[in-house]
Amino acid sequence: MKIFFFAILLAPLHIYSQDVDASDILFLKIQELEGELASLRSELESQAYLIEKLLYEETNQLEINAPLDSEIQSEVSTFRFEGINDSKSIDEVYDQAISDLNDKDFQAAKQSFEYLANNFNDDEKIPLSLFWLGEISLLESNLEESEKFFQRLASDFPDHWRTPLAHKKIGDILVMSGELGSAKIKYQFVVQTFPENAASSLALQLLENME
């Protein structure tokens, strides 16, 4: 009888212990999820900051590369792709995309950049559009799409001033995809092919970290 009595007393303690264990597990899971969310938030903020920095660099580079002949500049600004009945010029569409990018409206910017890249022909705005498409896709964690845009920029516009960074970005995507050997080869290519470019310094630093 005493044994039965003690068993009744201990039963609630056992049930309580199970409840505590379940609560602890749930609490740990919540902490784990909060940690993952914080990490993702930090990653997005870092990528957004990088886009702002690259936008600033692009503005400076475009000022350096601005043509002196205003008549040529006017012709470029009003250029229309043959067969496309569109009232907006390349510059107007591109400027709107950049404005959307500055406002962090990445979907609107992506649509404009894709429209430019797929329908127009311009040796400056199209490679820049491809670069920004790669950056936006990277921000969206769409590695395959991002690599596609950077590859297109590198292959179609090998002499553009953003091409070295596009190659370096492809190396970054390979790292994210776990293809460290291929990433190392790509970084080495950047260092050897563009030794005077800032992308080369970044690639070299990453190579040293991989040793």
**pLDDT (tens digit per residue) in 96-144:** 999 999 999 999 999 999 999 998 888 999 999 999 999 999 999 999 9
64-78, 92-106, 151-165: the lowest-pLDDT one: 64-78
Q: From the CA atom positions of the chain, what is the Rg in Å?
A: 26
In this predicted structure, what is the pLDDT of residue 91? 87
Give the whole-angstrom CA distance, residue 151 versus residue 166. Answer: 7
Query: Considering only 23-32, 75-84, 192-201, which range has the smallest mean pLDDT?
Result: 75-84
Would you list the domain boundaries of the chain?
Answer: 1-66
| Cα–Cα distance, 128 to 142 (Å, whole number) | 19
pLDDT at residue 158 greater than cutoff 80? yes
In terms of pLDDT, which residue wins out, 197 or 86? 197
pLDDT averaged over every residue in the chain: 76
pTM over 0.75: no
The first and second tokens of residue 33, run together, are 């999820």
